[in-house]
């Protein structure tokens, strides 16, 4: 393995024609590659005080959970509407073709806690922005957002201008 991006498979025309899907399942089944990805995602945060890692459904769970264990903090899932059993806060955001709603348990983040958002991929930034808005509405302090992959050509960072963004693999096109 020369680099982690060699473990990411391109699937053309998925989920619709004209899109090249970045498939992480090939990385996940490579034990050394998956371990390296988690270690690299943790690197910039090892010396920071992190009170919670937010994982965005569903691939954010894959990376956020082991990061929480390594960094010694709690893991908090943000899920699609209707998937969490307790009282929740929700945020609706726009997609390219419609809208979506995500939710977090009302008691998941305490005011003043330092929070890191984790997901597999930063594309347009809509989902992460919605997650950040939920965290901030609860009084959480966003210390950053970490991603395995960033699609630079979709300018997702622009929606996260007030949040430090860290990504391992960057694609220009």
Residue of 59, 103, 129, 150 marked catalytic: 59
Known catalytic residue: 79? Answer: no
Return the beta strands (E) in 2-113 as ranges.
9-12, 20-23, 52-56, 74-80, 88-95, 98-105
CA neighbor of 131 nearest in space, from 24, 45, 53: 53
Known catalytic residue: 43? Answer: no
Kindly list the distances between the CA atom of residue 150 and the CA atoms of 11, 26, 28, 47, 61, in Å, as whole numbers in the listed order. 16, 17, 17, 23, 17
Give backbone dihedrals phi and psi of 119, rounded to 5 degrees, phi first. -150, 170
Q: Which helix (H) or strand (E) holds 149?
A: strand 141-151
CA distance 150 to 76: 22
Residue of 46, 79, 96, 172 marked catalytic: 96
CA distance 173 to 161: 21
Sign of CA dihedral 91, 92, 94, 95: positive
**Residues involved in catalysis:** 59, 96
């Amino acid at each position: 393995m020369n680099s982690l991006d060699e473990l990411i498979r391109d699937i053309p025309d998925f989920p619709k024609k004209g899109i090249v899907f970045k498939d992480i399942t090939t990385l996940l089944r490579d034990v050394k590659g998956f371990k390296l990805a988690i270690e690299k995602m943790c690197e910039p945060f090892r010396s920071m005080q992190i009170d919670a890692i937010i994982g965005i459904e569903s691939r954010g769970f894959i990376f956020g959970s082991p990061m929480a264990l390594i960094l010694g903090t709690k893991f908090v899932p943000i899920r699609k509407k209707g998937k969490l059993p307790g009282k929740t806060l929700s945020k609706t955001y726009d997609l390219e073709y419609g809208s979506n709603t995500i939710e977090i348990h009302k008691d998941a983040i305490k005011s003043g806690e330092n929070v890191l958002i984790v997901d597999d991929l930063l594309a347009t930034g809509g989902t992460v922005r919605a997650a950040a808005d939920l965290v901030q509405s609860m009084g959480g302090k966003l210390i950053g957002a970490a991603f395995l992959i960033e699609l630079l050509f979709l300018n997702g960072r622009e929606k996260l201008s007030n949040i430090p963004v860290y990504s391992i693999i960057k694609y220009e096109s």
